[in-house]
Amino acid sequence: MAILLLWLGDWIVFRVRSAHGNGFQTIQVQEYLTTPLKGSKEEYDYLGTEMENCARAIFPHAGAPPCWWARRHTTQWE
């Protein structure tokens, strides 16, 4: 029950922030591509940097990860 109340409060705060235009933040992530090769080997290619949206909240909202988590995971593998 407590986690449900925490999520509900987080959602309300996120909606209020979004209404004022500051519910999201952008962070820079580095993207890499993994390509399988013959012989169980892999090739790693650096794709560059990209800006990604994150939600200024405790939990993910609107398809965006929370910013506290996204700042700690700035490397993305495709």
* Residue 32 CA: distances (Å) to CA of 21, 27, 76: 31, 16, 6
Q: Is the pLDDT of residue 58 over 90?
A: yes
List pLDDT tens digits, range 9-51: 999 999 999 999 999 999 999 999 999 999 999 999 999 999 9
pLDDT at 78 over 90: no
pLDDT value at residue 4: 95
Chain centre distance of CA 57: 11
SS (H, E, C) 10-77: HHHHHHHHHHCCCCEEEEEEEEEEEEEEHHHEEEEEEEEEEEEEEECCCCCECCECEHHHHCCCCEEE
* Furthest C-alpha separation in the chain: 54
Q: Above 90 in pLDDT, residue 72?
A: yes
Is residue 71 scored above 90 in pLDDT? yes
